[in-house]
C-alpha cells in the first residue's frame, strides 16, 4: 500500500458500473428505458445530493418517466465532468460511523445553457417534461433591493430584448412557456428548491413580472395556468474536494470526476400542487403537504440563520469548517442564544418542534466527517441575510423582543467582508454587493456609517419602522468587532 492514492485509470461510466465492488449501491433500473420528465436548472452539488436522490429512488421503484435533464446556467464544469461518465456520479454519505457510497443514475443528460440556449429550450418544451426544478441560489432570482424583479439588471434587459437567446431563469422559463403554449403542450409545473421564503410564490411573482414585460398575454397566462408549488429543501452539502475524489475512487476502483459528499440527514417538504403529475416522492420520505411555509420558516431561521452566523464568526476566529467553529464554546453558546431569540418568531400553531429541530442541528453541525467550509456559506451574504436574520429581527422587535444576538450576524458579515485581502484571502468568498462594499470600506467610515450604507445598499429592513434600531445594533456590534475582535465581542455579549 502506498500512502497516497493514485487515480485509477478507468472512469465511472455505464460500462464500468457492473465492475464496482458489491458494497457500492447502484441503479437497479434500465437507464436506457428511462425517459426525461424533469428539467433541472442549476446542476450543482446540492441538487445531485438532494432532489436527484429522491428521483433515483423513484426510478429504482419502476417509475420510468421521471429521468432528469440537468442544466448549468453558467459554467460547463459539471457537464465536462459528468458527460464522459454517462451522467453517473457517486453520492457519498459521511458521518462519524463511516462512509456509504451509492451511484446515482437519474441524470440522463447535462446541458450548459450559455453554450446552446436552444438545446435547453428544446428540453424544456418536450411534452414528456412536466416539472422544472430549480436550485439556482438566491441571486439568480434577480430581485431588486426592494424585492421586485430587477428590470434594470443588464441580463434581464438582454433577455427581454432577445427572447430566443435567454440567459436568466426568467428568460428560459418565459420562452419555454411561450413555446409550449403555442404548441398546445400541457404546461409544466415550476418547483423552486432554493432557500427563499415562499419560494414558489416568490418565483411566480417575479416571473409574472418578467413575462408581462415581454408580452401582457404571456404574463396573464403564467399567472393563471402555471403551478408554482413551494418547497423546503434541507441537506448539508459541502463542495467536493480532491481528497473526496481520491478516497471515493479508491473504493470504487474507477475514478469519478465529480462525486458529491453529504450528511445522512435529508429532508424535502413539498406543497402538493402538480397539475401535470409528479413522481411518487412520498414513498421515499418526501413530505407532501398543503402548506410549506412553517417548515420553510423554521429551516431558514434556525438552520440557515445560524449557518450564516457561524460562517462569519468562524471566519473572523480562524475556523475553516462549521464543525471547527461549532466546537468553539463561545460560538456554540452564541448559537443557542440566537436560537432562543429566533424561536419566538416561528408560528406557534403549526405543529413545529423547534427544540427537537435545534437539538438535531447541533448533532449535524458537530459531524466531524463533513468538511463544510465557513467560506462556502459566507458567499452572497447580502442575498441571504434578509430572510435568515433581518426578517427574524424585525419580527422580534415588532413583538417587543430583543434582536441583539441576531444583529451580530450582519455585523460579522461586514467585518468578514472587510477582512478579505487583510487577515482573510482576498477572494475567500464573494457577494454581488462586493463593488459597493469595497466603496463603503474605502471611505474608512465609522461603524455607524458603514452599517447604514450597507443596509441601504442591500435593502435590509427597507421601509420598516424598526430599521434604525437594527442599524444601531449592527453598528455597535461592528464597532466592537473592529476594536476588540470576535472573541472579546462574543464574551461581552454572552456575559
Cβ distance to ligand CS2 smaller for residue 121 or 198: 198
Q: How far is the CB of 304 from ligand CS2 (least distance, A)?
A: 5
Q: How far is the CB of 479 from ligand CS2 (least distance, A)?
A: 26
Cβ distance to ligand CS2 smaller for residue 92 or 195: 195
Q: Which three cell numbers stand for residue 183?
A: 404548441
Residues binding ligand CS2 (CB under 6 A): 195, 234-236, 303-304, 307, 376-377, 384
- For the stretch 100-103, contacts whose Cβ atoms lie closer than 8 Å and that sit 24 or more positions apart, written own/partner, are 100/25, 101/23, 101/24, 101/25, 101/248, 101/251, 101/252, 102/24, 102/25, 102/26, 103/12, 103/17, 103/20, 103/24, 103/25, 103/26, 103/27
Q: How far is the CB of 476 from ligand CS2 (least distance, A)?
A: 26
Cβ distance to ligand CS2 smaller for residue 262 or 489: 262
> From CA 343, how far away is CA 469, in angstroms rounded?
20
Q: Which three cell numbers stand for residue 228?
A: 408554482
Q: DSSP code of 390?
A: I
Q: How far is the CB of 377 from ligand CS2 (least distance, A)?
A: 4
For 408, the enclosing helix (H) or strand (E) is helix 408-419
Cβ distance to ligand CS2 smaller for residue 372 or 467: 372
CB neighbourhood size of 119 (10 A): 15
Q: How far is the CB of 305 from ligand CS2 (least distance, A)?
A: 9
Cβ distance to ligand CS2 smaller for residue 158 or 284: 284
Q: Give the CA count within 13 Å in the CB-facing half-sphere of 104.
A: 31
| In the complex, residue closest to ligand CS2 by CB | 307
> From CA 386, how far away is CA 460, in angstroms rounded?
6
Q: How far is the CB of 83 from ligand CS2 (least distance, A)?
A: 26
Cβ distance to ligand CS2 smaller for residue 48 or 235: 235
Q: Which three cell numbers stand for residue 414?
A: 461586514
| Sign for the pseudo-dihedral over CA of 409, 411, 417, 423 | negative
Amino acid at each position: 500500500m502506498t500512502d497516497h492514492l493514485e487515480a485509477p485509470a478507468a472512469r465511472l461510466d455505464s460500462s464500468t458500473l457492473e465492475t464496482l465492488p458489491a458494497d457500492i449501491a447502484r441503479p437497479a433500473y434500465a437507464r436506457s428505458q428511462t425517459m426525461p420528465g424533469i428539467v433541472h436548472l442549476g446542476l450543482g452539488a446540492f441538487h445531485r445530493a438532494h432532489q436527484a436522490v429522491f428521483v433515483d429512488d423513484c426510478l429504482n421503484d419502476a417509475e420510468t418517466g421521471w429521468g432528469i435533464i440537468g442544466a448549468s446556467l453558467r459554467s460547463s464544469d459539471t457537464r465536462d465532468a459528468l458527460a464522459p461518465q454517462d451522467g453517473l456520479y457517486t453520492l457519498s454519505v459521511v458521518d462519524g460511523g463511516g462512509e456509504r457510497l451509492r451511484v446515482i443514475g437519474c441524470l440522463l443528460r447535462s446541458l450548459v445553457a450559455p453554450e446552446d440556449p436552444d438545446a435547453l429550450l428544446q428540453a424544456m418544451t418536450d411534452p414528456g417534461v412536466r416539472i422544472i426544478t430549480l436550485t439556482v441560489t438566491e441571486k439568480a432570482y434577480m430581485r431588486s433591493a426592494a424585492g421586485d424583479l430587477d428590470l434594470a439588471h443588464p441580463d434581464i434587459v438582454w433577455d427581454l430584448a432577445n427572447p430566443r437567446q435567454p440567459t436568466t431563469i426568467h428568460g428560459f422559463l418565459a420562452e419555454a412557456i411561450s413555446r409550449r403554449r403555442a404548441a398546445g403542450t400541457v404546461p409544466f409545473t415550476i418547483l423552486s428548491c432554493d432557500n427563499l421564503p415562499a419560494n414558489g410564490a416568490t418565483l411566480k411573482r417575479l416571473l409574472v413580472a418578467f413575462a408581462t414585460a415581454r408580452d401582457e398575454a404571456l404574463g396573464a397566462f403564467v399567472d393563471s395556468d402555471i403551478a408554482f408549488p413551494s418547497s423546503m429543501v434541507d441537506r448539508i452539502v459541502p463542495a467536493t474536494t480532491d481528497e473526496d475524489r481520491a478516497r471515493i475512487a479508491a473504493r470504487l476502483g474507477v475514478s469519478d470526476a465529480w462525486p458529491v459528499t453529504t450528511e445522512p440527514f435529508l429532508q424535502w417538504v413539498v406543497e402538493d400542487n402538480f397539475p401535470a403529475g409528479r413522481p411518487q416522492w412520498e414513498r421515499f420520505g418526501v413530505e407532501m403537504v398543503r402548506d410549506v411555509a412553517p417548515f420553510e420558516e423554521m429551516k431558514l431561521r434556525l438552520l440557515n440563520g445560524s449557518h450564516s452566523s457561524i460562517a462569519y464568526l468562524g471566519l473572523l476566529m480562524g475556523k475553516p469548517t462549521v464543525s471547527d467553529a461549532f466546537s468553539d464554546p463561545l460560538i456554540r453558546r452564541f448559537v443557542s442564544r440566537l436560537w432562543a431569540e429566533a424561536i419566538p418568531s416561528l408560528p406557534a400553531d403549526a405543529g413545529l418542534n423547534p427544540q427537537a429541530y435545534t437539538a438535531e442541528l447541533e448533532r449535524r453541525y458537530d459531524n466531524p466527517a463533513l468538511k463544510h467550509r465557513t467560506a462556502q456559506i459566507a458567499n452572497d451574504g447580502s442575498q441571504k441575510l434578509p430572510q435568515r436574520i433581518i426578517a427574524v429581527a424585525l419580527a422580534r422587535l415588532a413583538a417587543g423582543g430583543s434582536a441583539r444576538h441576531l444583529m451580530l450576524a450582519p455585523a460579522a458579515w461586514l467585518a468578514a467582508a472587510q477582512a478579505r485581502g487583510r487577515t482573510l484571502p482576498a477572494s475567500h468568498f464573494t457577494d454581488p454587493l462586493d463593488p459597493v462594499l469595497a466603496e463603503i470600506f474605502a471611505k474608512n467610515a465609522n461603524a455607524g456609517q458603514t452599517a447604514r450604507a450597507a443596509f441601504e445598499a442591500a435593502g435590509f429592513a427597507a421601509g420598516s419602522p424598526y430599521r434604525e434600531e437594527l442599524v444601531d445594533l449592527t453598528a455597535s456590534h461592528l464597532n466592537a468587532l473592529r476594536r476588540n475582535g470576535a472573541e472579546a465581542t462574543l464574551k461581552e455579549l454572552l456575559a
